[in-house]
C-alpha cells in the first residue's frame, strides 16, 4: 500500500569495533545521505551506539539497538534498558531476533515484555518472527507465526501499536544464502497482515510495516520489494559494507 513508507534496516549483529562501526556509518552517509523516499536504520552493537549516533545524527539514517532489558533500571548486571537506549539516540530496537531466541534463551514471554518496554520508552520495536527449517518442513510455518505474534503482542491494544514494525525472518534463510522466494515471503507477509487485522483491526493492518529478512542482497531486494505486503528489509551480512547496503537502499523503484 502506498501509505506505507519502506524501511531498510541493517542489523550489524556482533560485528565491528567502535571505530569500524563509526567509519562504516560515515561511508554510508556519503552514499545515502540524500535519500529521502524511504526510512533507513542501522543497528550496531551497544558499545558503538553513541559514536555511531554522533556520526549519523544530522542524516536521514536512524539508529537502532539489537536488544534491551525490560526494566527501566535496577540490579541487572550486564543489561541495558529502553530509556538508556533512547537517551543514546536510538529510534528503533530489534526485539526477539532468532539468534537471541536460539542462543540466549529468548522466549515469546520475554519478547512480549521487551516490546512493551520499548513502546513505553518511545522506541519503535522491530519485532522478529520466523520459523525454522524443521518447522517449515513439518508444515507448521503459519501456526508458529500465529503463536509468536499472539504471544509477543499479548496485553497490547491497537492504539499502542503504531510504532510497531514486524520483521519476518525465516531462520533457514538467515546467513545461509538461501532466500525465501518472493512468493514464499509474500505468502507469509500476507498471513502476518491478516493476523494483525484479526487481532488489532483493519487500520493497523493497513499501516503496519512488515520487513523481510534472510540473505537480502543488492540483487534480490527489488523483486522482494515488488511484493505487495513486503514493506522493507532487515539486512544482516550485506549491511556490513556501506557499499552493498547502499545498493540495497537504492534498489530500482
Ligand atoms: P543475513 O542478511 O546475513 O541473512 O541476516 C539476516 C538477519 O538476521 C537480519 O536480522
Please identify which residue in the block is written with the cell numbers 507448521: 140
234 CA closest ligand 1 atom index:
9
What mean pLDDT, rounded, does the chain reach? 97
Indicate if ligand 1 lies below 6 Å from the C-beta of 11.
yes
Q: What distances in angstroms separate CA 219 from CA 10, 92, 173, 222, 248, one per listed residue?
A: 16, 26, 16, 7, 8
Q: Is pLDDT of 109 > 70?
A: yes
pLDDT tens profile 159-198? 999 999 999 999 999 988 888 899 999 999 999 999 999 9
235 CA closest ligand 1 atom index:
2
Indicate if ligand 1 lies below 6 Å from the C-beta of 242.
no
CA-nearest residue for atom 7, ligand 1, is: 236
The Cα–Cα gap between 186 and 2 comes to 16
**Quick one: average pLDDT of 44-57?**
98
Crossing angle of helices 49-56 and 18-32, rounded to 10°: 20
Q: Is pLDDT of 2 > 60?
A: no
pLDDT-above-70 percentage for the chain: 99
Q: By mean pLDDT, which of 54-63, 75-84, 172-181 is the weakest? A: 172-181
Buried-state track 72-82, b at ≥16 Cβ within 10 A, e below 16: eeeeeeeebbb
**Quick one: average pLDDT of 229-253?**
97
How sure is the predictor about 1, in pLDDT bands with cuts at 50, 70 and 90? Answer: very low
Indicate if ligand 1 lies below 6 Å from the C-beta of 215.
yes
The Cα–Cα gap between 224 and 217 comes to 10
pTM: 0.97
Amino acid at each position: 500500500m502506498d501509505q506505507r513508507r519502506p524501511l531498510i534496516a541493517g542489523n550489524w549483529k556482533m560485528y565491528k569495533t567502535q571505530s569500524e562501526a563509526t567509519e562504516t556509518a560515515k561511508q554510508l552517509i556519503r552514499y545515502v545521505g540524500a535519500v529521502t523516499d524511504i526510512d533507513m536504520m542501522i543497528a550496531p552493537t551497544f558499545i558503538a551506539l553513541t559514536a555511531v549516533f554522533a556520526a549519523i545524527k544530522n542524516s536521514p539514517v536512524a539508529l537502532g539497538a539489537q536488544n534491551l532489558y525490560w526494566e527501566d533500571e535496577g540490579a541487572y548486571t550486564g543489561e541495558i534498558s529502553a530509556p538508556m537506549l533512547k537517551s543514546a539516540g536510538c529510534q528503533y530496537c530489534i526485539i526477539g531476533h532468532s539468534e537471541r531466541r536460539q542462543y540466549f534463551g529468548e522466549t515469546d514471554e520475554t519478547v512480549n515484555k521487551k516490546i512493551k518496554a520499548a513502546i513505553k520508552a518511545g522506541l519503535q520495536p522491530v519485532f522478529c518472527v520466523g520459523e525454522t527449517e524443521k518447522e517449515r518442513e513439518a508444515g507448521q510455518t503459519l501456526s508458529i507465526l500465529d503463536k509468536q505474534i499472539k504471544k509477543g503482542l499479548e496485553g497490547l491494544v491497537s492504539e499502542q501499536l503504531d510504532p510497531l514494525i514486524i520483521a519476518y525472518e525465516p531462520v533457514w534463510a538467515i546467513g545461509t544464502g538461501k532466500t525465501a522466494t518472493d512468493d514464499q515471503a509474500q505468502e507469509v507477509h500476507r498471513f502476518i497482515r491478516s493476523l494483525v487485522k484479526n487481532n488489532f483491526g483493519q487500520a493497523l493492518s493497513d499501516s503496519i510495516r512488515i520487513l523481510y529478512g534472510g540473505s537480502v542482497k543488492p540483487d534480490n531486494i527489488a523483486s522482494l520489494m515488488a511484493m505487495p505486503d513486503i514493506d522493507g528489509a532487515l539486512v544482516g551480512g550485506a549491511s556490513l559494507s556501506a557499499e552493498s547496503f547502499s545498493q540495497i537502499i537504492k534498489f530500482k523503484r
